[in-house]
Amino acid sequence: MTLVVQKYGGSSVADAECVQRVARRVAAAREAGHDVVVVVSAMGDTTDELIDLAGRITSGPAGRELDMLLTAGERISMALLAMAVTELGHHATSFTGSQAGLVTDAAHGRARIVEVAPARIRTALAAGSVVIVAGFQGMAQDTQDVTTLGRGGSDTTAVALAAALGADLCEIYTDVDGVFTADPRIVPTARLMPAVSHEEMLELAAHGAKVLHSRCVEFARRYGVPLRVRSSFADDVGDDPLTGRGGTRITSTTEGRTDHAMEDPLISGIAHDRSQAKITVVGIPDKPGAAAAVFTALAGAGCDVDMIVQNVSAEATGCTDISFTLPASAAKSALDALKGVEESSGFLGLRHDDRVGKLSVVGAGMRAHPGVSATLFSALAETGVNIQMISTSEIRISVVVHVDDLEAAVGAAHTAFGLDSEQIEAVVYGGTGR
């Protein structure tokens, strides 16, 4: 028997009608002969609403109680979906994260999965039931308390279950048709990618592509779980999970690509990210230990630094500038931490800029092709976009630009790498990007 795990995001189960639409997909997969495990998110904006509700009671809810509250959102959708599937004549059983065997550490609000013990799921599947699991939650090994995996964590639940159950495929259903060569909300000529490798998808997700959570892609890569991203709103209920052609398949190799027969495409896609800020440490002595002092202070404050650029020191002063980017939400604690070492490390000042955006071009083909940076930088130059910072990996080039230039920059790069489609392919069914 083949096993398919399907995950439906909040916009896919936003109301009763949506839940029934999802139930028809689940039933179709069952009728096609697959065992089916479904992971659901909370309906629509339920999680945000529950957070607001807690905020009206207290400004600092205990992590344990907040997790107890938020996990209720997924419970609502799992029970409703089980009812809807039953209405269609199939047996369905819902399980909370802890009933499904998702064992985590005790870090409330950002728990890590330590073990998946899906005995009850296996029993229910063997009895012929469709299994429906509440996403983004588990139970702490030590305290036995209910935990959540962090916002958007249902994707991770789905991939973790797919890995533990040895599923043939994990389908992630959302409100867009798959992964596009750029965000179709910014680049209307973006193309649907029929296939992309785990490593490329990881770079795209880690650098701003919102269609998948990077933690889920990392998990899928580590355990070799094949993913398929598709829309729950599209008119393709009969498209078999394993053999159908719609959506985007994410696999460990780029095998099965239909767009570029023999070789990896030069550039698979372009991600953008508006959530970062840039901090510059001005006039720091150019001597051993200076960078260590700065980044030790940042690490101590729990700041997750992304790009780092150090200028060549001006000979006259013997001082240099170090700039780095980090999530804008962490900028305040970073600045506080740096002020704490201002005297000991001897720098002259700090500059903070949150009007920045990051563009990343990703493609496995760039390994074997020179000139990708030249093409990107020329396209930006022709568009009049100034580059503030640059960083690269084997399969990615990222630049930081002024936030007001970001959309123009993404569009220019998309055109320069020949990614524009002739007709508009993207349909955005929901509004949230999740």
Separation of alpha carbons 90 and 81, rounded Å: 12
d(CA 430, CA 354): 28
- Contacted by 247, from Mg ion, ligand ASP, none: CB < 5 to 8 Å by type: none
Exactly one of 4, 26, 38, 42 binds ligand ASP (CB under 6 A); which one? 42
Q: Which of residues 134 and 389 has its CB atom nearest to ligand ASP in the complex?
A: 134
Interface with ligand ASP (CB under 6 A), residue from 13, 19, 67, 73: 73
Q: Which is nearer to Mg ion, 7 or 191 (CB)?
A: 7
Q: Which is nearer to ligand ASP, 10 or 411 (CB)?
A: 10
Size of the site for ligand ASP (CB under 6 A): 12
**Residue whose Cβ sits closest to ligand ASP:** 154
Per-residue H/E/C for the chain: CCEEEEEECHHHHCCHHHHHHHHHHHHHHHHCCCEEEEEECCCCCHHHHHHHHHHHHCCCCCHHHHHHHHHHHHHHHHHHHHHHHHHCCCCEEEECCCCCCEEECCCCCCCCEEEECCHHHHHHHHCCCEEEEECCEEEECCCCCEEECCCCCHHHHHHHHHHHHCCCEEEEEECCCCCECCCCCCCCCCCECCEEEHHHHHHHHHCCCCCCCHHHHHHHHHHCCCEEEEECCCCCCCCCCCCCCCCEEEECCCCCCCCCCCCCCCCCEEEEECCEEEEEEEEEECCCCHHHHHHHHHHHCCCCCCCEEECCCECCCCEEEEEEEEEHHHHHHHHHHHHHCHHHHCCCEEEEECCEEEEEEECHHHHHCCCHHHHHHHHHHHCCCCCCEEEEECCEEEEEEEHHHHHHHHHHHHHHCCCCCCCCCCCCCCCCCC
Residue 135 as a binder of ligand ASP (CB under 6 A): the answer is yes
With CB cut-offs between 5 and 8 Å by kind, which of ligand ASP, Mg ion, none does residue 151 bind? ligand ASP
Residue 147 interacts, among Mg ion, ligand ASP, none and using kind-specific CB cut-offs from 5 to 8 Å, with: none
**Cβ-based nearer residue to Mg ion, 147 or 280:** 147
Query: Do residues 296 and 345 touch, judged by C-beta distance below 8 A?
Result: no
Among 11, 47, 276, 320, binds ligand ASP (CB under 6 A): 47
- Per rule CB under 6 A, is residue 388 in the interface with ligand ASP? no
Q: Which residue is nearest to Mg ion (CB)?
A: 10
Answer yes or no whether residue 276 interacts with ligand ASP by CB under 6 A: no
| 174 scored as a contact of ligand ASP (CB under 6 A) | no
- Binding segment for ligand ASP among 41-49, 179-187, 287-295, 397-405 (CB under 6 A)? 41-49
From 4, 10, 37, 232, residue interacting with ligand ASP (rule: CB under 6 A): 10
Q: Which residues contact 70 (CB under 8 A, 6 or more apart)?
A: 42, 47, 50, 51, 136, 137, 148
- Asked whether position 151 contacts ligand ASP by CB under 6 A, the answer is yes
Q: Quick one: which segment of 148-156, 161-169, 290-298, 345-353 binds ligand ASP (CB under 6 A)?
A: 148-156
8 vs 324, which CB is nearer to ligand ASP?
8
137 binds ligand ASP (CB under 6 A): no
153 is a contact residue toward ligand ASP (CB under 6 A):
yes
Q: Which residues carry a binding-site annotation for substrate?
A: 47, 74
Shortest distance in whole angstroms from residue 110 CB to ligand ASP: 12
When binding is defined by CB under 6 A, the residue of 8, 95, 136, 173 that contacts ligand ASP is 136
Q: Which stretch binds ligand ASP (CB under 6 A): 40-48, 78-86, 239-247, 370-378?
A: 40-48
- Which of Mg ion, ligand ASP, none interacts with 217 (beta carbon under 5 to 8 A by kind)? none
Q: Which does 73 bind (CB under 5 to 8 A by kind): ligand ASP, Mg ion, none?
A: ligand ASP
Binding site for ligand ASP (CB under 6 A): 9-10, 41-42, 47, 73, 135-136, 151-154
